[in-house]
Structure 1
Amino acid sequence: MAATADRDDPETIGRRVQHLRTERGMTQKQLADQAYTPAYISTVESGRVRASDDALKHIAQRLGVAYEELATGRPAHLAVDLRLRLTDAQRTLATGEATVAAEQYAALLAEAEAHELVAEQATALLGLGECGLDTGDLTAALRYFERAENVLHDAPLTARAPALRGRAVAHYLAGELRYACYLLESTLDELNRGGLHDPDALLLLYASAISPYMDMGAHARAAKAAELALALAPQVADPALVARMHRQVARTLIAEGRVAEADASLAKAAELYRQLQIRTELANCHWMRGYLYTQNGELERAEGELREALAMHTGRKAALYSSQVTVELADVLHRLGKSEEAAALLRDVLGHLSPERGAVHSAAAHRLLGIIAEAKRDSETAEEHYVRALSLLERAGAAGDLADLCRLLGDLLRRTGRVEAALDAYRTGLGHRTAPGTTTLGPAPAQPPL
């Protein structure tokens, strides 16, 4: 039932009462019944008096409408019905139908806006943002997340956290790693320092910070974020959120050589996603397991997991994620001696990636094409790919990969007799190795009281 503060102004309510009364052919005396006077009904209809809740309940009952509809103009149970349909749209997105889900969310957003239902507007906008991430339309995703944040501008920061996280992920996928970290860290700092210790919001943000930290080479900070996320997990009731956390934490465990623990973490996440029937994230679990097996030298198993992830993402028309998985699959194929197949996949996928969409994976594709070209003794083509990769990684601030790429370029330049240029490349790489992406991040965010 609507609270008094949610009611329309007296004039609007008065016009609504008069319209409904005349529509039903009732007189003011009939509407008043024995509880009120016709004169009181007249003052209500003219907007000269703010009717009490009890009076409006009586009038609503006599008119045969719900109190909420009379007080706000919204059809009875509209908000509940909208929330149920928003859950259906979320289910559609989870099963991999991002385009269909986007249509559902757009229709629900229009309905929520028409009836000024703020929370439902925000949920629909967040859903549209997630659809944008899934289909690789990062510009649209960012726009929807920003709109969700604006709709919730008067809400507590904990309510705005999913929109802020969405913005950070969109910037991260666009190759803007430092800005993604800034958004996540500043939100975490405000939550923790302000005493807003909401476990769901904190877990969401710490888990989302792991990937940009890793790509920037800030491994210590990524490990700390993973540690805090794991400590928060027992306080979080949403299994999908916990599963996402396990998938992200696996990346730090792999980097620390804790392969068995990483595999166990991914197994937990995959099982939760299977139970929840969330195909999007289940595909990402296969992707991460492929990465795990690659790092552990189990290339045949890695190929199987990555092909499974690729098939699932391609079936869902998740173009950006499909392209990123393809780059990692090509790396495995090259290591298995299937370099021609790998090169063909990479050339095709570069048409779908760009500095604004998947900069880190686009750089990885150029790096691998450079390695394949070097193996064919085509130094000119190899250098061209290395330079393109270097430019992409510098723009993204992905210091974790820059040092290795500078070494590859330096070795190539040295072999072709350009010693001074090689030394410059080595010095650049050393600079990134000694300052692994943390120099512009500022102090780590305050920690929650665990």
Structure 2
Amino acid sequence: MSAEATETVGAGIRRLRTARGLTQRDLAQPEYSRTLLAAVEAGIRTPTDDLLRHVARRLDVALDDLRWVRPPGIVDELAGDLAGARQALARGEVDEAEAVFARTRAAAVRYGLPDLACWAGYQTGEARLQRGDMVAAIAAFDELRPSLPDVGAAPRAAVVARRAYCQFATGDAAGAVSALEEALTGARQAGSADAQVRLSSALMYAYLALDWRDRARQVEALARPLLAEVTVQEWVAQFLVVAGQLRRGAAELPEAELMFTDAGKLYEELGLTREVALTRWAHGYVLRRVGQLDGAAAAFDAACTVLDRVGATQDGAGAALELAEVRRRQGDLDEAARLARAAADVCARSHHLECMAEADRLLGLVAAAAGRPADAEVLLDRAVQRYGQLGVMVEVVATCRALGELQLSAGRTADAGRTFRRGLEAARAAR
């Protein structure tokens, strides 16, 4: 590939012509002269589109393959490189995978393959997210924005969805939701099942974080019939994982667990180790909310182990916060605090505002239970501010309740009243 990477169009025509045993006259006539073709092959003349079409037809090659001097099989080769690097990333080989993504993107640009170039750039952003470098990931996704109008619906949806996730995580929930809703409307009009399912999963995730479960269920209902048409099987698994987390009641647990089982099998078949761990995290998420704390702890612990091994630092921090909440409810305050502090450090480095707020609240509740009300108040108040900045009003309400009760138990009625009113205002805003 390296020798052909600098090949000109004329040199490519000469290579293909000689490989077929044709003379310049054989290839050029009757429409064009041998002299013109010789000048093109020598790089003296630039071929017109009509000449390229004629040559491509005579050589039995695709016009764009000729125009971009693509070596035989290059599209499949680059797609295979991307798929292999995607698996390597999921195994934790982040540096190696990112190097392949960069090489593949450069080659795809060289050979005029915008979709493959976009996929490679998107995976670069994914690698940076896996490291927990939110700023670098955002830069990678933003770099792709000018090319999005020229790529297919699926890679465009992937970039929009992941950029919206970053937007949400760093404090602009409203902007993220708006971007996803607009993109999903466009995907529905275009009729792309892949794009609709990918964007639906992202929007369901955002709605779930905002506790807008009715809206999430509506999105799920519209997207679910499309799953059989989706070509990116990773996105089918991702959809099942998010949809499973919408099942919060004990009666829905068997349905959720079936979704997680199916998603896990798909991820295993695809060789995506990190995503299998994220499925376990999702399972624990549901188990905790139906009161099965031991099962939730086991799922979170398994997820944390794998996520730590593959270098998924921010994902690991999120799972650790869930495990910390389980330990707090089980009465193991020291372990809860240890997990939450470690996660808080990771979240601060990655600028993940939602997890920073959750860590503050957890540590505040632990401090309150440990008899340190002053520390608890500082942490809970900061959690309220961060949740408010994020726009997750349901969490503002819950945290204001905890903070107000702490103030009330200390006899600070006026302060408690102000905090409870703050929570009421957030509850009205959440409607």
Q: Shared fold (TM-score greater than 0.5)?
A: yes
Corresponding residue of 1:233: 227
Report the 3-state secondary structure (helix = DSSP H, G, I; strand = E; otherwise coil) of the residue aligned with 2:137: helix
How far is the alpha carbon of 1:52 from its aligned partner?
5.8
Report the 3-state secondary structure (helix = DSSP H, G, I; strand = E; otherwise coil) of the residue aligned with 2:308: helix
With normalisation by structure 1, the TM-score equals 0.83
Q: For 1:300 and 1:392, how far apart are their aligned partners in 2?
A: 30
How far is the alpha carbon of 1:355 from its aligned partner?
8.8
Corresponding residue of 1:47: 45
Measured at CA, do residues 354 and 35 of structure 1 come closer, stay the same or move farther in structure 2, by a change above 3 Å?
closer
Corresponding residue of 2:145: 149
Corresponding residue of 2:416: 422
Measured at CA, do residues 17 and 218 of structure 1 come closer, stay the same or move farther in structure 2, by a change above 3 Å?
closer
Q: For 2:256 and 2:14, how far apart are their aligned partners in 1?
A: 66
Corresponding residue of 1:444: none
Deviates more, 1:126-135 or 1:281-290: 126-135
Choose the corresponding residue for 1:243, options 237, 241, 244: 237
Corresponding residue of 1:371: 365
Q: Is the 8 A contact 2:108 2:117 kept in 1?
A: yes
Q: For 1:280 and 1:52, how far apart are their aligned partners in 2?
A: 46
Corresponding residue of 1:342: 336
Q: Is the 8 A contact 1:174 1:355 kept in 2?
A: no
Choose the corresponding residue for 1:252, options 237, 246, 251: 246
How far is the alpha carbon of 1:364 from its aligned partner?
1.6
Q: Which amino acid aligns with 2:36?
A: T
Aligned positions of 1:208-227 closer than 5 A? 208-227=202-221
Deviates more, 1:84-93 or 1:405-414: 84-93
Aligned positions of 1:77-156 closer than 5 A? 77-155=73-151
How far is the alpha carbon of 1:232 from its aligned partner?
2.6
Corresponding residue of 1:186: 182
How far is the alpha carbon of 1:395 from its aligned partner?
0.9
Deviates more, 1:310-319 or 1:112-121: 112-121
Structure 1 position 261 matched with structure 2 position 255: yes
How far is the alpha carbon of 1:47 from its aligned partner?
3.0
Corresponding residue of 1:32: 25
Report the 3-state secondary structure (helix = DSSP H, G, I; strand = E; otherwise coil) of the residue aligned with 2:346: coil
Q: Is the 8 A contact 2:56 2:62 kept in 1?
A: no
Give the structure, 1 or 2, with the largest relative contact order (CA under 8 Å, sep 6 or more): 1
How far is the alpha carbon of 1:102 from its aligned partner?
1.1
Choose the corresponding residue for 1:279, options 249, 273, 282: 273
Q: Is the 8 A contact 1:215 1:401 kept in 2?
A: no
What's the CA shift string for 1:316-370, capped at 9, x where partnerless?
1111011111111111112222111211222222211129632222212211211
What's the CA shift string for 1:348-406, capped at 9, x where partnerless?
22211129632222212211211121122211011011011111111111112111100
Q: Taking every aligned residue pair, what percent have the same amino acid on both sides?
A: 26
Measured at CA, do residues 256 and 153 of structure 1 come closer, stay the same or move farther in structure 2, by a change above 3 Å?
farther
How far is the alpha carbon of 1:157 from its aligned partner?
4.8
How far is the alpha carbon of 1:146 from its aligned partner?
2.5
Measured at CA, do residues 33 and 200 of structure 1 come closer, stay the same or move farther in structure 2, by a change above 3 Å?
closer
Q: Which runs of 5+ in 2 are unaligned?
A: 1-7
Report the 3-state secondary structure (helix = DSSP H, G, I; strand = E; otherwise coil) of the residue aligned with 1:74: coil
Q: How many residues are paired up?
A: 416
Corresponding residue of 2:395: 401
Report the 3-state secondary structure (helix = DSSP H, G, I; strand = E; otherwise coil) of the residue aligned with 1:73: coil
What's the CA shift string for 1:177-230, capped at 9, x where partnerless?
2221111001112333xx312121111111111222122232221221222232
RMSD of Structure 2 on Structure 1 (CA): 3.1
Measured at CA, do residues 201 and 255 of structure 1 come closer, stay the same or move farther in structure 2, by a change above 3 Å?
farther
How far is the alpha carbon of 1:73 from its aligned partner?
3.0
Q: For 1:363 and 1:73, how far apart are their aligned partners in 2?
A: 52
Corresponding residue of 1:446: none
Report the 3-state secondary structure (helix = DSSP H, G, I; strand = E; otherwise coil) of the residue aligned with 2:351: coil
Q: Is the 8 A contact 2:114 2:151 kept in 1?
A: no
Corresponding residue of 1:411: 405
Q: For 1:166 and 1:250, how far apart are their aligned partners in 2?
A: 20
What's the CA shift string for 1:121-167, capped at 9, x where partnerless?
11111111221222222222222222333223234655522211121
Q: Which amino acid aligns with 1:353?
A: C
Q: Which runs of 5+ in 1 are unaligned?
A: 1-11, 439-450
